[in-house]
Amino acid sequence: MSAAVVIDMGGTSLRLGHLFEGKPVGMFQTLPTSALRQASDPVAFLAEAVKAYTEAQNLRVEALIIGVPFTPDRNLSTALTSPNIRNLEGAPIKTGLEQHLGIKVMLERDINLLLLGEWYAGAAKGIKDVFGMFVGTGVGGSFLQAGSPFRGASGGAVELGHIPIRAEGKVCVCGNIDCLEAYACGHTLVALAERYDTQVDQIFALADSAELRQELDAFVRDLAYALASAINLFQPDLALVGGGIPAMKAFPKEQFKSIFYEHLRKPVPETTVAFTWAELGSEAALWGAVALQEKGQL
């Protein structure tokens, strides 16, 4: 049996890893997403990156799974809209890569892949209905029913980062105003760190001014409101929160949880939903790919 390459395509970096005989081996290469963004032919760029990776790792590859940070079409083949990597819009990503590489290619929303990984091998193992929120560069949501992502009219439902949250008129990367991502995502922390002259990766630990504390409280509140809204809508068995931001030093986890629980409907889902933090970290995409392989989707 041969290997499958997995790309975790983020707003900042592309991470390449692989499975061998249906098990994760690791993620061994990182490329800046800016290089993909600047490529005149992004499909050829991705194909070359996969070829270079398979040569470096000496692999015989039968499939490629990509967790994508954009709204895919219903067939999970192209990008309907891709605000973070504009040159992927309209590109024949799946079919183009299949032609370049001569292997099966599968696209899945990045957040679905991460939550599938947690459902298969991590903090949501054995749970029927799971809602996941991942907070990193953006804010992603995924709702799995017995391991099947809820998709809606495109391949990209459950866009938690783009629900309206305040009425201050801030423009979101998607073009709408007042989306959650306009107020509470990785970009927000970068902007706050600049404004208050502090290190972004230490911002929760170092925040010493009352003004910055207030901004961070609002940041945590907006995220907790969004998750409570989602759990009130879907009433899953488990709410899972992951991504780089909740994993940051001194992120106020208890504050987040208490605001979240305060805003759940009583008695259901307040008494029925369990809560967990993600546990697989960056390996979740690999386990998500294993789940897709086992489900026969490759």
Q: Cβ closer to Zn ion: 92 or 175?
A: 175
* Token pair in block for residue 15: 């991470």
174 binds Zn ion (CB under 5 A): yes
Residue of the chain from 172, 207, 241, 289 that contacts Zn ion (CB under 5 A): 172
Using N-to-C axis directions, what is the helix angle for 284-294 and 110-121, rounded to 10°? Answer: 80
Q: What's the burial of 147, exposed, middle or buried (CB within 10 Å: 0-12/13-18/19+)?
A: middle
Indicate the helix (H) or strand (E) that contains 65: strand 61-68
Indicate the helix (H) or strand (E) that contains 106: strand 104-109
Cβ atoms 253, 277 nearer than 8 A: yes
As a three-state string, the secondary structure of 271-294 is: CCCEEEECCCHHHHHHHHHHHHHH
Closest Cα to residue 117, out of 261, 218, 243?
Answer: 243
176 binds Zn ion (CB under 5 A): yes
Q: Cβ closer to Zn ion: 45 or 183?
A: 183
15 binds Zn ion (CB under 5 A): no
User: Segment near Zn ion (CB under 5 A), from 120-128, 173-181, 207-215, 252-260?
Assistant: 173-181
Site for Zn ion, residues 111 to 170, rule: CB under 5 A: 162
Cβ atoms 25, 13 nearer than 8 A: no
Q: Cβ closer to Zn ion: 17 or 161?
A: 161
Count of residues binding Zn ion (CB under 5 A)? Answer: 5
Q: Cβ closer to Zn ion: 18 or 109?
A: 109
Residue 112 CB, shortest distance to Zn ion, in Å, is 19
Residue 172 CB, shortest distance to Zn ion, in Å, is 3
Site for Zn ion, residues 269 to 298, rule: CB under 5 A: none
71 binds Zn ion (CB under 5 A): no
Residue 174 CB, shortest distance to Zn ion, in Å, is 3
What order of strands is seen across the sheet that includes strand 23-32? 23-32, 13-20, 3-9, 61-68, 104-109
2 binds Zn ion (CB under 5 A): no
User: Segment near Zn ion (CB under 5 A), from 32-40, 171-179, 204-212, 271-279?
Assistant: 171-179
Q: Cβ closer to Zn ion: 148 or 176?
A: 176
Amino acid at residue number 190: V
Residues that bind Zn ion (CB under 5 A): 162, 172, 174, 176, 179
